[in-house]
Amino acid sequence: MATSHKPNPTPVPAEGSKALAWIDARFPLSATWRAHISEYYAPKNFNFWYMFGSLALLVLVIQIVTGIFLVMHYKPDANLAFASVEYIMRDVPWGWLVRYMHSTGASAFFIVVYLHMLKSLLYGSYRKPRELLWLFGVAIFLSLMAEAFFGYLLPWGQMSFWGAQVIVNLFGAIPFIGPDLSLWIRGDYVVSDATLNRFFSFHVIAIPLVLVGLVFAHIIALHEVGSNNPDGIEIKANKDANGIPMDGIPFHPYYTVHDIFGVSIFLIVFTAVVFFAPEMGGYFLEFNNFIPADPLKTPPHIAPVWYFTPFYSILRATTSQFMYWLAAGTAAYVALLILKSRLAGFWKIVALAVGVAAIIGMFVFDAKFWGVVLMGVSVLILGGLPWLDHSPARSIRYRPTWHKYVYLLFGVCFLILGYLGILPPTETRTLVSQICTFVYFGFFLLMPWWSTMGSFKPVPSRVTFQPH
């Protein structure tokens, strides 16, 4: 008996698949997922240093979410601000947790970003073709500093008030426009309700928008040029027949799981601090900031939060006596540029003119002005790293061994500057700060020479990888 064969029915796509197809026809959701997650090939030899980028994104989300809940109850009014923070801490359900998550998150953000920048420094992640990626990162760091500064005033405690007063007054040291600039920033002749309102606006609206935009640009630039790796080797240089890097693996699921492990460790430490030591001995939340702002009572010692103190130490180190050493250092550096650099003749003349103008200015304008200049340059100089580092090897792994001690000396001096910035100044502390300031700037300004010196190890053509 013959059997009839019926054609197999066309499979009906699941509802989820139909919904995804409907979205993809109108928005490139699947294409974006593939391009930036599942089919984005990252080097297979990432180590724990490469977790800090994802952790920075996590902390940004924590800050935005907790900030939204804090704004629901905070009053940007000089007469009500401190009381509204107390209200959040005492009367709003779980308000104390949200506030401590936000304050701890501010310090966690800088810890994670500093470590992320250290990784880039060690492995040369700012080198070609990642110059723009690095510049976006420096812009994120500057925006983060601005965001932290504007937010620091909002609790309206003693240290918030006087810290803002001191920092804003620094702009008054700028010749000609300084006093008017300070007045414009404050919105009044002293830090007042007008200052609080404009700082609140910048902290809650303006800077977060800039920060989120820069983070988005940073990620897009990263995925355009590809991630660096501990060997400093371009994995795109070795591809298989399908155009896939032979030393690359998909970001998902390999590094998503990798980062989830890092996030778990981070959250354990983060919650331990939030629940057991949110003030962190006065480093995360100063004790003076639990006292309402009093314009008539100056605290005995005013210092910024710990993440600003390395640059604040550079400001304080710039005394009138230090100016002579600074002038001598500038003259020596200009001579080095003229005699030992590969600059064209025109640029040597420019360097000479700028150096002479700077030295003359050091004796025309007071030390306070130059302290502000050095404090600003100490941050902005980070943006010049891609053009200052001339090393034939990107990664510290293949550089001469003594290069590691140069990085170590720089790191120790940075930590010393940070610690001294918290303490009241003395003659000895000022002298140590001045020495560390010279080391800090020398690390960057002399990099075109020392980064090329020594015997370099051969760089392999493929990444080195040990399964773990």
Feature table: binding site for a ubiquinone: 223
Spatial contact of 8 and 1, defined as CB atoms under 8 Å apart: no
φ, ψ (nearest 5 deg) of residue 359: -65, -40
Total residue count of the chain as it appears in this document: 468
Binding site, residues?
Answer: 102, 116, 203, 218, 223
| DSSP at 75 | -
| DSSP at 240 | -
Amino acid identity of 188? Answer: D
Q: What residues are paired with 301 via a beta bridge? A: none
- Distances in Å between the alpha carbon of 342 and those of 214, 260, 354, 393? 34, 47, 18, 20
Spatial contact of 383 and 138, defined as CB atoms under 8 Å apart: yes
At 388, list the tokens.
Answer: 């200052």
SS3 assignment, position 42:
strand
Q: What residues are paired with 43 via a beta bridge? A: 248
In whole angstroms, give the CA distance from residue 314 to residue 421.
8
| DSSP at 13 | P
In whole angstroms, give the CA distance from residue 58 to residue 101.
13
Spatial contact of 291 and 158, defined as CB atoms under 8 Å apart: yes
CA angle 274, 280, 281 (to 5 degrees): 145
The HSE-up count of residue 310 (CA atoms within 13 Å, CB side) is 20
Binding site for heme b, residues?
Answer: 102, 116, 203, 218
Alpha-helical regions (H) of 246-321: 256-276, 309-317
Q: Is the backbone of residue 227 left (phi > 0), alpha (psi -120 to 50) or beta?
A: beta
Number of H helices, E strands in the chain: 19, 2
Contacts of residue 152, Cβ cutoff 8 Å, sequence gap at least 6: 160, 163, 164, 304, 305
Using alpha carbons, select from 268, 269, 309 the residue that is nearest to residue 286: 309
φ, ψ (nearest 5 deg) of residue 76: -80, 65
